[in-house]
Amino acid sequence: MYCRSCGEKNPEGAFACARRGRMLDGSGPPLVVPNYLAHDTVVTALCCVPFGIPAIVYAAQVNSKIAAGDVEGALRCSRRARMWSTTAFGLGLLYVLVYVVDVAVLIASEMMER
C-alpha cells in the first residue's frame, strides 16, 4: 500500500505510513506524483536539448502510469524526469559559464594588445 501524501511503499496491512506516520486508510488527499513536464520543456528549449528530450519522455509517462495503477513506475519515471532535467540544466549552465569566460579572456587579450 502506498502513502497518499508522500508515495512511500508500506507493507500490506500497515495502518500508518512508515515515513510520515499518516493513516493509510484511504482518507486524505489522493497521491500526487509530480511529472515535471512544463519544467522539462522549458529546460529542453533553453538549456540542453539532448538531455532534455529523455526528461520530457519520462515526464510524459508519469500520468499514464498513475492511470494504469502503476504507482511505483510513476514514481520511478518522475525521479528520472527530474534527474534528466537537472542534468540538462546543469550542462546548459556550464555551457553559458564557459562561453562567458571565453569572451572575457578574448576581450582581455585584445585589450592587452593595444
pLDDT in tens, 2-29: 777 677 787 777 767 767 666 666 655 5
pLDDT of 85 over the 80 cut: yes
Report pTM.
Answer: 0.70
Comparing 29 with 31, which gets the higher pLDDT? 31
CA dist 8 and 72 (Å) reads: 9
8 in Cβ contact with 22 (< 8 Å): no
Is the Cα torsion angle 22, 25, 27, 33 positive or negative in sign?
positive
Q: What is the mean pLDDT of the chain?
A: 86
Q: What is the mean pLDDT of the segment spanning 97-108? A: 96
